[in-house]
Each structure stands twice: as structure tokens, then as C-alpha cells.
Amino acid sequence: MKKKQIAITLGIMCFLLTIAICVQLRTMSAASSTVSQTLSDNGLRDEVLRMKEKYDNTYQELEDAQVELEKVRQSATQNDSAAEAKQQELKENNMILGNTDVVGDGVEILLQDATSADNILDINKAVIHYSDLILIVNELNNAGAEAIEINGQRIIGTSAITCEGNIIKINGEIIGSPFYIRAIGSQSLLYGALSRVGSYLDIIKDGGNIANITKVDNITIPKYSGIITSEYLKEDK
């Protein structure tokens, strides 16, 4: 009888010991997985930081090279009226293309999501969408805007205003409400086009959003910070 009890006791102890070992193995496996994931995340973060540092250094080198190039151009065009005219033409083209900071009179538009959804039948209209920004930019261009920027992002011919889920990107950079749109050009034309009855600002206001436009003197618009490339464009010789 005692042998039977001892056998049962040993059997129970072995069963419990087996369970304890399994639990320990699972715990160690989970811990190992967590450590591996942490190491992987840290590796990705370090790689992103290295790439950002490399980009910042390269961009600074480009800025320095442009400054040196401008000095060489100025030196080469001194006392040469034809060269000075070409230099001035180059400066104007760079301003139009968005390669330089510019300043001038124009308008500033403030767009902001509705602060309250009360009495709004379509909640989708209470939010500023990327398509709203595109339409505002189009109206400004049609009114003769010479330079446009949204939340610090210069709008040029290749600029993309996109939506990824609920995130709006301009030139690949994430921006969000409130949106400050600044445009340089004829104040009367720009203001008139956007403040007229039935303008797209009126449509945005109907959704309960904030949409205001004001005339502003001496607006400063930064240059395009990206790199302009062309894959298919070639010179026609």
C-alpha cells in the first residue's frame, strides 16, 4: 500500500515538475522574442537616425555649394552687362522654380477642422481633406499666384499633395490642421478669387470648418527643400 502511495506521489511530483519546466521554457522563449524584437527596433531606429544624419549633411553640402556657386557667378559677371543680364534671368527663373526663398505681398489663408460636430449632418465635411488643399492651390494659381506654401512646404510644379489614411502629406512631409496657406501675388486678385461668393472657401465654411483669408504684406516663402529630378525629361536638340 505504501509503495502504491509513493508511486502516486512521485507521479504527481513528476507531472508538476513537467508543467513547471514547460512554463519556464515558454517564459524564456517569450523573453527571448521580446529581446530580439527590442534589438530589431533599436537597429531600425539607429539606421533611420544614420540616414537622417547623412541626408542633413548632404543637404548642407548642397547649400554650401550653392553659396559658393553664387559667389563665382557674381565675380564672373562683374563689369559685363550681357553676363549680368543672364545672371538676373537665372535668379528670376530660380525664384519661379522655387529654388530660392522669396518675399512679397499676398494673402494668407487659414483652414482648420470644425471645432464642434454639432448640427453637422455629414461629419466628413467637418474635416479639411487633401482634396480641399488641392482645390485652394488651383484657385490661387488661376488667380496668378507666383509662389505658394502650405505649413512651410513650398508648392512647385512637381509637388504632391496626398492622403495616406487620415494623414496628409505635402512633398512627402506630414502636415496637419490648422493649415496656413501663403501665396505671393496681386493681393486684389488673390483675395477677390478666394473671398467671392461661391468660392471654395465658402464651400469649406458650409461644413463648419474655419476658412479665413487676409491680405498680408511682405510674406516670406521658403524655397523648396527637396531635390528636383527628372527621369523622362530630355533636352530637345
Q: Is residue 122 part of a domain?
A: yes
Kindly report the average pLDDT of the chain as a whole number: 77
pLDDT of the residue at 233? 77
Q: What is the pLDDT of residue 87?
A: 67
For residue 83, pLDDT over 80 is answered with no
Please report whether residue 83 resides in a domain: no
Residues 154, 211, single domain; the answer is yes
Considering the domain architecture, whether residues 107 and 214 belong to the same structural domain is answered as: yes
The more confidently predicted of residues 62 and 223 is: 223
Residue 94: is its pLDDT beyond 90? no
Domain boundary among the residues 56, 71, 86 is at: 71
Does a structural domain hold residue 163? yes
Stated pTM of the model: 0.64
pLDDT digits (tens, 9 = 90+) for 182-213: 999 999 999 999 988 888 888 888 778 889 99
pLDDT tens track for 224-234: 887 777 778 77
Q: Are residues 122 and 213 in the same domain?
A: yes
Q: What's the pLDDT score for residue 55?
A: 63
Q: Pick the most confident of 57-61, 70-74, 134-138.
A: 134-138
Q: Is there a single domain that holds both residue 145 and residue 200?
A: yes
Residue 196 falls within a domain, yes or no? yes
Sheet holding 153-155, edge to edge: 153-155, 147-150, 179-184, 102-112, 210-221
Mean local confidence (pLDDT), 166-195: 93
77 within some domain? no
Does residue 129 sit in the same domain as residue 205? yes
Residue range(s) defining the domain that contains residue 42: 1-71
| CATH code of residue 125 | 3.30.70.1880
The last residue of a domain, from among 29, 48, 71: 71
Can you read off the three cell numbers belonging to residue 170?
Answer: 505635402
Is residue 131 a part of any domain in this protein? yes
> What is the torsional sign of CA 180, 100, 62, 158?
positive
Asked whether the predicted pLDDT for residue 50 surpasses 80, the reply is no
Comparing 163 with 38, which gets the higher pLDDT?
Answer: 163
* Among 152, 135, 125, residue whose Cα is nearest residue 194: 135
